[in-house]
Amino acid sequence: MDFSVDGFTIVEEIYSEKEIAAIEYAIDRANSDRSTFRKTAGLFAIRQFLKEIPAVAPLIFTGRLKNLITTCFGNDYFVVKSIYFDKPELSNWFVAWHQDLTISVDKKLDISGYGPWTVKHEQFAVQPPLEILADNFTIRIHLDDADEGNGALKVVPGSHLRGICRPDTIDWDSQTAVSCDVKAGGVMVMRPLLMHASGRTTNSKPRKVIHIEFSRAKLADGLSWSESQSF
């Protein structure tokens, strides 16, 4: 699999069972009363995950993960966003085809090339210039086995090379979706412009994922990443 061509890759056995258990223990101990924690019958999510649970950072950024990042992308990248998703056994929600087109920033400013803007859970988000999105990457850390039965991510290989495009422009006669099955302890690496989706849970198995976005871009003057941190 060629990451530059396909826009994604899967690397297994980044974390051991013991390391996964330590991460889950740190999450379970966290105070979930804050607004960045969202818990319903069908979803448990923590936004600004690394900021909310700083004790989990050294458990996540192990030597193996750091080596993967530097080998693939060099030393210039830093964390710009992190979310924890827990899709319970009976969850029936799905995510439609989309690209990840926004970044999290500290404030809203009228700047050429940045927009449209949104505010979600007291967090400013904006679509930045295309070159920033094209250069960013995401690592999805799997704490459970994931396949189509419990909503593993589906992607359209190579779709990140088309820039920003609408899901309804996908030509399914020539394009094929791929299910990104990942074992617990493995990671999926992807470009945010890769078209992706996920289905409902049908096999009564959980799917817990830590989603971390990375960039090396300097934003326009006056604007800062809201979750920027080194690792």
- Give the domains, in start order, of the chain with CATH numbers: 3-94+137-215 (2.60.120.620)
pLDDT tens digits for range 43-93: 578 899 999 999 999 999 999 999 999 999 999 999 999 999 988 776 677
Q: Is the pLDDT of residue 42 over 60?
A: no
C-alpha 227/C-alpha 210 separation (Å) is 15
Q: Which residue type is seen at 100?
A: D
48-to-44, 99, 172 alpha-carbon distances in Å = 14, 20, 35
Task: Quote the CA–CA distance of 95 and 199 in Å, as a whole number.
Answer: 6
Model pLDDT, residue 134: 98
Query: In terms of DSSP H, where are the helices of the chain?
Result: 3-6, 17-29, 49-52, 57-60, 63-73, 130-135
Q: What pLDDT score was predicted for residue 202?
A: 87
Taking residues 107-125, report their average pLDDT: 92
Joined together, the tokens standing for residue 9 give 């890759």
Q: Which residue blocks in 61-145 are alpha helix, DSSP H?
A: 63-73, 130-135
Residues 154-196: tens digit of each pLDDT = 999 999 999 999 999 988 888 999 999 999 999 999 999 999 9
Within 8 A by CB and 6+ apart from 94, the residues are 151, 197, 198, 199, 200
Contacts with 70 (C-beta within 8 Å, 6 or more apart), sequence order: none
Tokens, residue 8: 């994604």
Contact in structure between 179 and 207 (CB atoms under 8 Å): no
Tell me if 83 sits within 8 A of 213, measured CB to CB: no
CA dihedral 199, 202, 208, 210 (to 10 degrees): -10
For residue 88, the model assigns a pLDDT of: 76
pLDDT at 7: 98
Q: Is residue 31 over pLDDT 80?
A: no
**Per-residue model confidence (pLDDT) at position 204:** 86
pLDDT above 90 coverage of the chain, percent: 78
